[in-house]
Amino acid sequence: MSTPIAIVTGASSGIGREIARNLSADHEVHGLGRNEQNLAALARDAGVVPHTVDLRDNAALASVAASFDRVDVLVHAAAVFERHTVEDAQYEDWQKHFETNVFAPAELTRLLLPALRRAEANIVFINSGAGRRSVPGHTIYSASKYALLAIADGLRHDLAPENIRVSTVSPGPTQTPGGDRDGGGYTQKSDPRTVAEAVRWVVTAPGDSQITELWVRPRNEG
């Protein structure tokens, strides 16, 4: 059998980078991101094929998607998370969060559907605890992750008859550049490599079943 092909968004940092690195052991991994230096480092370290793309640019997304005939694994790890309440948020803040965290994963999935169908693929959405319980002061991000959960669940219902598996993996606080910027005062954070292991487990699950949702929380947290 030929080497399975994986696409990972957010491969230039944090959780996405560790997922790309982990999958590169037995997949041909294509990493999407904006930071060319970080993508180049991952290409050197792990052989991940770099694709510099802004997920908010629909034409760029279409052009990347058009280069794939077959995709076995699609992991949506990219996101922005800036702290806003409804009161302090500007319209542009909503746009940025929803375009990056909601519209882009939906659109990239749509564009890749023919290639995903060919492989009876696994699609993984990296969500968050904030996708089930809105985090105080983090309303926009939380709303975007609730929406992402609905997309994953809807896709699963629509694509299950075609043998495509759709999973949500929801990390808790995790040690990443984005997590550091976000702050939050957590006493313990998960290692992003552990989240990557969880994604590997999801995409390699025995073929009779699908892991629909998985939470990865720091050990000292409930």
Q: Which one of 8-16, 40-48, 84-92, 202-210 is the stretch in contact with ligand NAP (CB under 6 A)?
A: 8-16
Q: Which one of 43-51, 53-61, 156-164, 201-209 is the stretch in contact with ligand NAP (CB under 6 A)?
A: 53-61
Q: Can you state the percent helix, strand and coil of the chain, rounding each to 5?
A: 45, 15, 35
Q: Catalytic: 141?
A: yes
Nearer to ligand NAP, 41 or 117 (CB): 41
For residues 156 and 166, the answer to whether their CB atoms sit within 8 Å is: yes
Nearer to ligand NAP, 35 or 210 (CB): 35
Site string for ligand NAP, 120-149 (x = CB under 6 A): ------x-x---------------------
Long-range contacts of 106-109 (CB under 8 A, 24+ apart): 106/151, 107/58, 107/61, 108/9, 108/55, 108/61, 108/65, 108/74, 108/76, 109/74, 109/76, 109/155
Catalytic residue numbers, as ranges: 141
Contacts with ligand NAP by CB under 6 A lie at 10, 12-16, 33-35, 54-56, 77-81, 100, 126, 128, 171, 173-174, 176-179
